[in-house]
């Protein structure tokens, strides 16, 4: 949702295409991962460790967002670009938090089910 708001800010401000493209790409990828987990397709498509792919996506997106949104905030050609940059930096923080939380929950050598202790 934050990525969509950042995209709309960049779109409304008529800023360069890289700003909006990054925000739109992250919104689409986040929506696809949400659908993947919501429909439980990660269990049906077992050939890839989806949680690790989610962590990789979050780390790469965070790096791109940091660079692009810092440029948007520093340059601030108009208020829309500044608002999009601020929302992009909020999205950067959310991507870092997502990567840390998901990475702590995955286990690379054990089963992929719930991590509840056996009685």
* pLDDT of res. 113: 54
- Write down the mean pLDDT value for the chain: 80
Res. 119: pLDDT tops 70: no
Res. 20: pLDDT tops 80: no
- The tens digit of pLDDT for each residue in 41-71 reads 878 877 777 888 888 888 998 998 888 888 8
62, two tokens: 């965070």
* pLDDT of res. 112: 53
* Residue that is written with structure tokens 């940059």 in the block: 85
17, two tokens: 């295409």
In 3D, which of 76, 90, 86 has the Cα closest to residue 13? 76
* pLDDT of res. 97: 92
Structural domain containing residue 36: 1-77
Residue 2 lies in a domain: yes
Residue 73 lies in a domain: yes
Residue 89 lies in a domain: no
* pLDDT of res. 11: 78
Residue 7 lies in a domain: yes
DSSP character string of the chain: -HHHHHHHHHHHTT--HHHHHHHHHHHHHHHHHHHHHHTTHHHH-TTS-HHHHHHHHHHHHHHHHHHHHHHHHHH--SHHHHHHHHHHHHHHHHHHHHHHHHHHH--SSS-SS--PPP-
Count of domains forming the chain: 1
């Amino acid at each position: 949702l934050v990525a969509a708001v950042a995209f709309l800010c960049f779109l409304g401000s008529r800023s360069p295409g890289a700003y909006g493209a990054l925000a739109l790409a992250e919104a689409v990828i986040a929506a696809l991962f949400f659908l993947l987990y919501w429909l439980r397709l990660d269990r049906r498509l077992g050939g890839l460790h989806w949680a690790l792919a989610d962590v990789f996506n979050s780390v790469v997106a965070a790096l791109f967002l940091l660079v692009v949104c810092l440029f948007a905030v520093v340059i601030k050609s108009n208020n829309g670009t500044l608002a999009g940059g601020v929302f992009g930096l909020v999205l950067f923080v959310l991507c870092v938090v997502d990567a840390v939380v998901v990475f702590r929950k995955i286990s690379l050598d054990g089963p992929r089910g719930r991590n509840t202790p056996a009685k």
